[in-house]
Amino acid sequence: MRVLIAEDDTFFQKFYSTELVDLGYEVEIASNGVEALEKMRAKKPDVLILDIIMPEKDGFEVLEEMSQDTGLKSVPTLVFSTLGQEQDMKRATDLGAKHFINKSFFDFDILVQKIKEITQP
């Protein structure tokens, strides 16, 4: 399964990718929203793990652009952000995100569980 991680923090990039690769996932990294969209268009991932606060295009802008792109709007997206306000979670899910996990209360097992939930029929 191919996972695209859109995250600008290098610590989280390395941690997520190492752990997911160890579990057998194929992982690609995008450091900002523009790069995430380019990589998704080049090779559509099975799941997108999306940070909200990123340079160039934030996660909300990525979700908005995905929702208007017939080739990308079907990509299951898991928002993983430090933003945890109710309005942020609602905005992300209204734009098509399947789940919103607050990065501040991070548990890697929960992340893996949510990836499995949103990618299995």
Average pLDDT in the chain: 90
Task: Find where tokens 């949510």 sit.
Answer: 114
Is 120 within a domain?
Answer: no
Say how far apart CA 62 and CA 26 lie, in whole Å. Answer: 21
Is 70 within a domain?
Answer: yes
Q: Would you state the pLDDT for residue 111?
A: 80
Is 36 within a domain?
Answer: yes
**Into how many domains does the chain fold?**
1
How sure is the predictor about 106, in pLDDT bands with cuts at 50, 70 and 90?
A: low
Is 121 within a domain?
Answer: no
Task: Give just the sign of the alpha carbon dihedral 83, 6, 65, 116.
Answer: negative
Global confidence as pTM? 0.89
User: What is the extent of the structural domain holding 53?
Assistant: 2-115
Q: What is the pLDDT of residues 27-77, one digit of tens each?
A: 999 999 999 999 999 999 999 999 999 999 999 999 999 999 999 999 999
Is 19 within a domain?
Answer: yes
Which CATH number do you get for residue 103? Answer: 3.40.50.2300
Is 107 within a domain?
Answer: yes
Q: Are 89 and 52 in contact (CB under 8 A)?
A: no
Cα 17 off chain centre by: 12
The amino acid present at 107, given as its one-letter code, is D
DSSP for 32-76, please give it: SHHHHHHHHHHS--SEEEE-SS-SSS-HHHHHHHHHT-TTTTTS-
Is 90 within a domain?
Answer: yes
Say how far apart CA 115 and CA 84 lie, in whole Å. Answer: 19
